[in-house]
Every structure is written in structure tokens, then in C-alpha cells.
Amino acid sequence: MSEPEESTKRTRPCPYCGASMVHRHCEYVCPHHGVVFDCSDPFYG
Ligand SMILES: [Zn+2]
């Protein structure tokens, strides 16, 4: 089962593992850690 990548943008590396996170809606999602940042996080952006 592959992740759809066309509707998402890879933005910044995960602060924990360095994997490229996906910016999805209001969240940054690490493929290993799940949601790392969201809109309410001061690091979001
Ligand atoms: Zn990670």
C-alpha cells in the first residue's frame, strides 16, 4: 500500500529521524512518527 504523494508536498525533515515529512492540510507528518507538527505547534510553518 503506497502513499499518495501527488496531493502532498515534502517539506522539512523530521526532527527525530530526519525523514522527509509530508505537509498535509494542517499537519507535518513523518512516515515513521506520524504527525509531528500541526497548526497549533510553535514550530509549525
Ligand atoms: Zn520521524
The answer to the question of residue 13 being in a domain is yes
The answer to the question of residue 45 being in a domain is no
Q: What is the pLDDT of residue 18?
A: 95
The alpha carbon of 18 and the centre of ligand 1 are apart by a number of angstroms equal to 6
Higher-pLDDT residue of 29 and 11 is 29
The alpha carbon of 36 and the centre of ligand 1 are apart by a number of angstroms equal to 8
Task: Mark 15-39 as b/e (b = at least 16 C-beta within 10 Å).
Answer: eeeeeebbeeeebbbbeeeeebbee
Structural domain total, the chain? 1
**How much is the mean pLDDT over the chain?**
81
Q: How confident is the model at residue 24 (pLDDT cuts 50, 70, 90)?
A: confident
The answer to the question of residue 43 being in a domain is no
Mean pLDDT, residues 27-39 taken together: 92
Is the pTM of the predicted complex or chain greater than 0.85?
no
Q: What is the pLDDT of residue 29?
A: 93
What domain range is 30 assigned to? 9-38
How far is the C-alpha of 25 from the C-alpha of 20, rounded, in Å?
16
The answer to the question of residue 3 being in a domain is no
The answer to the question of residue 23 being in a domain is yes
The answer to the question of residue 22 being in a domain is yes
The alpha carbon of 29 and the centre of ligand 1 are apart by a number of angstroms equal to 8
The alpha carbon of 38 and the centre of ligand 1 are apart by a number of angstroms equal to 14
The answer to the question of residue 2 being in a domain is no
